[in-house]
Structure 1
Amino acid sequence: MWPFHSRRFLASRSTAAERRIIMSPLTSPSVQTRRSAGGCSAMNPIDATLLNRGLSWREYRATVEKNADVFDRVYDDPGFDDADLAPLHAVPPLTVVAIGEDWCPDVYHTLPAWVRVAERLPGWELKIFPRDQHPQLMDAFLYRGRARRVPVYAFYDRRRYLQTWWSGRSAEAQRAVDGWLAGRTFDQLEPAERAALGKRLDAGYRERFRRANFDEILALLKAFFHLGPDGAGA
């Protein structure tokens, strides 16, 4: 098992861009290192029986009832290339535990990309858990200890120990959503405003948020495992 590292220690070993992500306040939302807060210790290690209940991409895709066209487009064009993944070849094989629901834009615009990551990296695998069918697992990764925010991407080693995890949306996407909400919650919006926000979010993902999410998670992994741009140890 890789040793525990605090956010501060990770930042001391990382590039400037990675430090901004690791040390960003959790109000900008997504980056988490291994910690006991929010119940993560309950899934560390994750139970083997539970892990085996996770769905493969093919199994999950067969259950998708909403936004299937977007899932397929992102799978066909995940928005990264082999050079982006080069540093991760230095990481021991990981299992990605992905939690999501097919109605969520933050899920259907990003989950297929991580499916492709796991397919391209030798020894990696990805298990998908529909959030509402797995409340105990979801409760191990609560946003700010309260909200069942998806997607969650949790990275486990071969001994089933949690290494690091990420949830929600990138800081860039969150800033945009906060601006659109203008101090309100989604529930406070009128139906027409909700529809308009959904269209803006979809457009944002097509234009830049998908890549921003990918880059944020990639930076987290590189920092956690002390990887340089080419995968060499920092």
Structure 2
Amino acid sequence: MNSLSKIINQAMEQSMSYEEYLKLMTSLTETGRASGPTQSESLIHYTKLNNQRMTRLIKTTSVDEYALPAIDKPQTWLTITESWCGDAAQTVPLIQKLAETNALIDTRYVLRDDNLELMDEFLFRGGRSIPKLIILDENHEVLGSWGPRPQEAQMLFDNWKKEETPRPYSEFSVELQKWYLKDKGRSTVDEISEIVNHFIESTMEK
């Protein structure tokens, strides 16, 4: 077993189901805490806000059962996240709803700061950006990954970072939230489906 396999298996052992992750979000909100070792007013505020957003998305969004290419072998979708992550609040419910369209897909969730070895295997431009979806086959071999946000949202983020005097994140996050509301999860679903489809096509070519 190689080192990545060991890291993934260790993460899987302490992973949460979607229901357990939702319970954690609710518990943190009720106790005025955030996930991870660092606690601050900002992280606690975003945890509460994200819990509200996830609750709304769960009730108001739906995923076409045909959005995902046909899968005939079991997969595990392992997502790295944290309660305070705004992009996770906008995409985790979509990841879950998409996975639920196929009974062969199991979803698991882990916290980034409790799984830094795993996170460091899936960096985005050298950073520990979340959420990060890791798609695994039945043997927990990596098929592909996605994250931390849809490409168009990433462009907004990049442009914000390039501003001569970047606005505070609290101000930029409003713009990002408006984009997510307008997109209605379509980009997240389409991009993840494309990754799955690419794997299926590459398998058929062999």
Length-normalised TM-score, structure 1: 0.69
CA contact (8 A) 1:46 1:162 kept: no
Equivalent of 2:17, from 34, 56, 73? 56
Q: Which residue is 1:73 aligned to?
A: 56
- Give, in whole Å, the separation in 1 of the partners of 2:175 and 2:120: 29
Compared CA separation, residues 168 and 49, structure 1 to 2 (3 A): closer
In terms of mean alpha carbon deviation, does 205-214 or 60-69 score higher?
A: 205-214
Task: Check if 1:179 corresponds to 2:159.
Answer: yes
In terms of mean alpha carbon deviation, does 45-54 or 95-104 score higher?
A: 45-54
Give matches, 1:74-153, under 5 Å. 74-85=57-68, 87=69, 89-144=70-125, 146-153=126-133
Q: Which residue is 2:35 aligned to?
A: none
The 3-state SS of whatever aligns with 2:201 is coil
Counterpart AA for 2:181: R
Compared CA separation, residues 140 and 209, structure 1 to 2 (3 A): farther
Compared CA separation, residues 90 and 47, structure 1 to 2 (3 A): closer
CA contact (8 A) 2:8 2:118 kept: no
Structure 2: tracts of 5 or more residues without a match: 30-46
- Give, in whole Å, the separation in 1 of the partners of 2:131 and 2:172: 19
- Give, in whole Å, the separation in 2 of the partners of 1:149 and 1:91: 31
Task: Check if 1:205 corresponds to 2:180.
Answer: yes
- Give, in whole Å, the separation in 1 of the partners of 2:6 and 2:60: 33
- Give, in whole Å, the separation in 2 of the partners of 1:47 and 1:196: 36
Counterpart AA for 2:55: D
CA contact (8 A) 1:55 1:129 kept: yes
Length-normalised TM-score, structure 2: 0.78
Counterpart AA for 1:69: Q
Task: Check if 1:159 corresponds to 2:164.
Answer: no
CA contact (8 A) 2:63 2:97 kept: no
Compared CA separation, residues 134 and 45, structure 1 to 2 (3 A): closer
Compared CA separation, residues 50 and 94, structure 1 to 2 (3 A): same
Count residues in correspondence: 181
CA contact (8 A) 1:43 1:162 kept: no
For residues 79-108 of structure 1, give each alpha carbon's deviation from its aligned partner in whole angstroms, at most 9, with x where no partner exists.
4211213x2x33412100100112222100
Counterpart AA for 2:87: D
CA contact (8 A) 1:45 1:161 kept: no
Give matches, 1:215-234, under 5 Å. 215-226=190-201
RCO comparison, higher one (Cα < 8 Å, 6+): 1
CA contact (8 A) 1:46 1:161 kept: no
- Give, in whole Å, the separation in 1 of the partners of 2:123 and 2:10: 21
- Give, in whole Å, the separation in 2 of the partners of 1:182 and 1:47: 35
Structure 1: tracts of 5 or more residues without a match: 1-40, 228-232
